Structure formats: structure tokens, C-alpha cells
Amino acid sequence: MDDRKSVLRKWELFKVVCRAFFIQNLWSFERMQAYGFLYCLLPVIKRLYTDREGRASACRRHLEAFNTHPYLASFILGVSIAREESHARGDEPDVSQVPSVKSSMMGPIAGVGDNLFWVSLRPFLALLGVSVVLLNWDAPQYGLLGPMVFLALYNLLHLYVRWVCMVGGYRGDIKVVERLRSLNHLRIVRALRVTSYLLVGAVAALKVGTVGAGGRGLPKAALAFALMVSIAAASRIKATPAKMMALVSLLCLAGGYLGWVASF
Amino acid sequence: MGSLVGGALALDTEAAFQFMISRPLVCGPVIGLLLGDVGTGLAIGAILELLNSGNLLVGGRTPPDASLATAVATSIVLMDKSYLGSDAKNSLLGLSIIYSFYMGILAGRLEHLFKTKVNVWFLRRARSYAEDGRLSELARLNWEGLGLRYFKNFSLAFVSALVGFYPIRAVVSLMPPWSEGLWRSLYLILPFVGLGSALKAFGMDRLFWFLPVGFTATLFLGSLGRMDIATTIILASAAGLSALLLLRFTFGLTFPPGGRRQQGGG
């Protein structure tokens, strides 16, 4: 693998890494990330093909329908760059299967990325950040730590994954995706969810405040907990947030008029 | 100012970067800082973050625009700070958050329309340039699309803030005395509504039982006057897990030490 002569310079690869931040721009229902993917590869196409027909043919290849997780798309970008480079060098005369290689990878990679980033990591870290804010409700100078912790932890992993995927894809190192996929089945992700539940419960309890002597605050705590679980259950039966918000506002309106929620 | 910055931050949702600076939790304090009150921006951002945390940008879904909602709510509240020291503060915050929440849904619908019509138009142009191998024109489309989307975000945030500002102020000043309790309650209830919505993001399976465990354990520790211990334990374990996840991926470290068993069934 290493004995191949590279046609591309580091500069083109660096440009692709930077352009990968725009892969979702111009996302359309017709071909999804197709334009974004092509936009990322433009510096490579420009370098590898000097004739008009070669460039047009490469552009057509990468303007096919494509959609995957935006961070892990870097891996497929890396693979595509390697294929195009190999074709330009003359090692791989037929590149007509490149779109089908991309399509075969985009589904599994989207599954890994969506589970890891959108479903597990982002909600968890956001919750962690919000918890810091809610616990320092009257002291915003400390509450600001919440968004900072969220941004720092999330982007540390996000940027690292983007870089590793791009380099791994270019070098044909499939272990990168395997390693990411293994995370979904590890107990650490399960532990992440357990901690999230504990965190939601703890933050809700801290917002309720102390129960007080003789359990005077217990009805208030029970009401808050019931409200939270009802909202979660309602979202399971496809009640939209808009409807839920309208319902809560109406309940408050009724409660405010009758005077039984004013002391919440 | 709020709309200018909010429009730019909203680009991070999908069009560019995805560093999560568009999340309400980050967007709120940034706009709050620019408009002179970080604390209010932080409070609005935290509530809207919870309310929107169950909305995922997966596949072809276009969720409500949470960053635009945050920009609108923060701008409405901080455009005129005279209410912030008064009793009407909670009413203003509650009404602004609800109004902007629905504006976020509207912005999401508009974004959907953008993907169906405007971006398809860009795609057709891209296809015609691709046929001719015109690379510089193809590259330019990216910036045109980004500019147009920024203009859409900014205009929507600006118009929503202006349209909402006067009616919300009028409603707050004309409110009957009994309704102050309502809005105060609503503002206090919103974090619980948000926490409930956030649970959607984690699913509701067997692990759901950890929710009452966390709730009652913290209440219990609180009744003993040791709420600080509960908070420290939970926040430390959450931060520890994040660090472990990072180490696991970066260095291939196994958890627990000793390694994972060979892949079996399931």
C-alpha cells in the first residue's frame, strides 16, 4: 500500500478536510449530500484530471445520490480519493463502480454515526451542560461552564473522528469504522444512557428543591416527576412538542386562573 | 444584532461545520452576551435546549430550528430590558420562549421547503456545470447557497423578533393580576417539560428505571442536607464516562480493563 506513488499533495488533502465541514450544504431531497460530496472532492478532481472530459466524468460520478452521517462521511471521502488517485495513476482503469462502493458504505456508516453522535453523545453532553446551567440558575458566571464543557468534550471527539476517518479511508484502513462500530455495542454506551437517566432524575430533584421537614414538599416533587414522565410518555405516542407545549400552556392557564399552580 | 448573529450561528445546524455552536445552550449565552445579559441568554438557551434535544437531524428529517428560536426569544427579551427587574420578568420570559418555540417549528418547515425547492434548483445548476467540467462554477455554488441560507435565517429571525416584540410586551403589560401566577408557574415548569422532552432522545426502555432512582436518591440526600454530594457524584460520573469514551476510541482501551470478549452471537 505504501509503495504506491502519490499523485496528490498534502495540500489537496488538507483542502478536502476543510471542505468536509460543508458536506451538508445544499442538501436536497433529490440527491441529498451529492453536491456537498462533490464540492469536497473538487480540489482532488482538479489535480488529478487536466482534461475537460476527465473532470466532467469525475464530477458526474460523484454527483450521484449520496447520504450518510456528516462526520463519518470523511471515511468515504478518503476511500473515494484513493480510488480516483489510483485511476489517475492508471492502476485502476475502471472507476465506474465507485458510486456503488459509496452507496454500499453510506448506510452502515450512517447507522454508526447516528447512533454514536446524534442519539448518544450529543444529547448526553448537552444534558450535562444544561445540568450545570440549571444547578447554577442564579449564578450565570458558573452556569457558563455548562456550554463550555459541552462544546469542548463534543468537539474534541468530533474533530478527532473526522480526521481519523479521512486518513483511514484514504489509506484503506477499515479498522477505523470497525472501531467506531464496536462502540455502539459496548457497555460504555449503555452506561452513558444510565448516567443520562440518573442525571435527568437528579437535576429534576434539584430543581424541585428540598422536600423539607415532614415531607411538606413531597406533593410538589411528585407533581414535577409526574409531569416529566407524562411528557416523555406522550412523546412516545407521537404527541408532537408543539401539541405538548400548547397543552402545558392551557393547563397552566387553567391552573393559574384557579390559583392552584401559582405556588409551584 | 441578535438576528445577525443568530442567523450566522444557525448555519452550523446543518449547512456548515456542525460544531454545535448552533445549539440553544451555546447560542443563547452568545446572543445574551452581545445584548448585554448573559444570564438571561443562558436561561433561555438551557430551556430551549431541553425542549429540542429529542429532535434529531437524521435521514431526511428537518427538525424545528432551535437556534433561530433561541435568537428570537433572547432578542425579544433583551431588546428592552426595562421588564427584567420587574415582576413581569417571568411572564415575558415564558411568553417569549413559547412564541419562539413555535417560530422554530415554522423555521423548520421553511428549511424543509428550501431543501425541496431551492437546493434542488442549485443541484440542477451543479449538474449542468458538472456536464461541462466547470469546477470553479461548481465551487462557487457552495458560497451562493451558504449566503442565501444566511439571508433566509437572518430575515426570519429579524421578522419573527419584530413581529413578536410589540404584541408580547402589550400582552405582558395588560395581563390581569391573576395571570402573573400562571406565567411564573409556566416559566418554572418549562425546565421539567424540557427534561421530559429530553428523555425522548434516550429512548424509554428497561434503563428508564434509573430515572426514578436518580430522582428519589437526590431528594433523599437533599432531605439530609447533602444535595451537594448527589450533584458531585452524578456530574463526576458523567464527566468520567465522557472521558472513557474518548480514551476507548482514541487508544483502543477496553472498559472494564481486561478487554472485551470475542464477538459472540447477537
Express each pLDDT in A114-124 by its tens digit: 888 888 788 88
Please report how many Cα atoms fall inside a 13 Å half-sphere around the Cα of residue B198, on the Cβ side: 33
Query: d(Cα A100, Cα A41) in Å, to the nearest integer?
Result: 17
Q: Do A121 and B212 touch (CB under 8 A)?
A: no
- Cell numbers of A19, please? 471542505
What angle do helix axes A187-208 and A175-184 make, rounded to 10 degrees? 50
pLDDT (average), residues B13-23: 92
Contacts of B70 in chain A (CB under 8 A): none
Which among B53, B102, B193 has CB closest to A231? Answer: B193
The pLDDT value given to residue B257 = 47
Query: d(Cα B133, Cα B209) in Å, to the nearest integer?
Result: 58
Q: Picking from A156-160, B195-199, B218-222, B256-260, which range would have the lowest pLDDT averaged per residue?
A: B256-260
Chain A, window 85-114: residues with a beta carbon less than 8 angstroms from a chain B beta carbon? 110, 114
pLDDT (average), residues B19-32: 95
Reduced to 3 states, what is the DSSP secondary structure of residue B230?
helix
The alpha-helical segments, DSSP class H, found in B175-209 are 177-202
pLDDT (average), residues B143-150: 96
* Residue A17 confidence class, pLDDT cut points 50, 70, 90: very high
pLDDT exceeds 80 at position A227: yes
Tens digit of each residue's pLDDT (9 = 90 or more) over B154-166 = 999 999 999 999 9
pLDDT exceeds 80 at position B142: yes
Reduced to 3 states, what is the DSSP secondary structure of residue A28?
strand
Average model confidence (pLDDT) for chain A? 84
Residue B262 or residue B97, greater confidence = B97
pLDDT (average), residues B95-114: 92
pLDDT exceeds 90 at position A155: yes
Query: d(Cα A30, Cα A22) in Å, to the nearest integer?
Result: 18
Query: d(Cα A77, Cα A20) in Å, to the nearest integer?
Result: 9
The alpha-helical segments, DSSP class H, found in A90-214 are 98-113, 122-135, 140-143, 145-171, 175-184, 187-208
Which among A30, A60, A134 has CB closest to B130? Answer: A60
Helix (H) or strand (E) holding A113: helix A98-113
pLDDT (average), residues B139-149: 96
The pLDDT value given to residue B260 = 45
Average model confidence (pLDDT) for chain B? 83
Tens digit of each residue's pLDDT (9 = 90 or more) over B130-141 = 999 999 999 999
Query: d(Cα B69, Cα B71) in Å, to the nearest integer?
Result: 5
Nearest residue to B186 via CA among A240, A140, A245, A241: A245
Q: Looking at chain A, which residue has its C-alpha nearest residue B260?
A: A186
**With contact defined as beta carbons under 8 Å apart, do A98 and A80 qualify?**
yes
Contacts of B60 in chain A (CB under 8 A): 29, 32, 67
For residue B169, the 8-state DSSP code is H
The pLDDT value given to residue B255 = 45
Q: Do A186 and B255 touch (CB under 8 A)?
A: yes
Q: What is the pTM of this model?
A: 0.87
Q: Which of A25, A119, A144 to mutate to test the interface with B (most CBs of B within 10 A)?
A: A25
Q: Which of A40, A198, A240 to mutate to test the interface with B (most CBs of B within 10 A)?
A: A198
Spatial neighbors of A8 by CB under 8 A, at least 6 apart, are: A44, A47, A48, A81, A85
The pLDDT value given to residue A64 = 93
Is A260 in CB contact (< 8 Å) with chain B? Answer: no
Is A35 in CB contact (< 8 Å) with chain B? Answer: yes
Helix (H) or strand (E) holding A242: helix A241-258
Query: d(Cα B176, Cα B211) in Å, to the nearest integer?
Result: 38
Q: Looking at chain B, which residue has its C-alpha nearest residue A184?
A: B245
pLDDT (average), residues B17-43: 94
The pLDDT value given to residue B265 = 35
Q: Looking at chain B, which residue has its C-alpha nearest residue A67?
A: B59
ipTM of the complex: 0.87
Residue B8 or residue A240, greater confidence = B8
* Residue B264 confidence class, pLDDT cut points 50, 70, 90: very low
For residue B261, the 8-state DSSP code is P
The pLDDT value given to residue A213 = 56
Helix (H) or strand (E) holding A137: none
For residue B208, the 8-state DSSP code is G
Cα angle value B187/B192/B197 (rounded, 5°): 115
> Sign (positive/negative) of CA torsion B125, B131, B134, B135?
positive
Q: Picking from A145-154, A158-167, A221-230, A232-241, which range would have the lowest pLDDT averaged per residue?
A: A232-241
Chain A, window 42-71: residues with a beta carbon less than 8 angstroms from a chain B beta carbon? 42, 45-46, 52-56, 59-60, 63, 67, 70-71
**With contact defined as beta carbons under 8 Å apart, do B68 and B157 qualify?**
yes
**How many Å lie between the alpha carbon of B135 and the closest alpha carbon of chain A?**
7
Contacts of A227 in chain B (CB under 8 A): 189, 192-193, 196
Q: Do A25 and B241 touch (CB under 8 A)?
A: no
The CA distances from residue B217 to A89, A149, A216, B210, B223, in Å, are 65, 25, 17, 10, 10
Tens digit of each residue's pLDDT (9 = 90 or more) over B162-185 = 999 999 888 888 877 766 667 677
Q: Which residue has the cell 417549528?
A: B105
- Cell numbers of A18, please? 476543510
Contacts of A126 in chain B (CB under 8 A): 23, 25, 49, 53
* Residue B90 confidence class, pLDDT cut points 50, 70, 90: confident
Query: d(Cα A59, Cα A62) in Å, to the nearest integer?
Result: 5
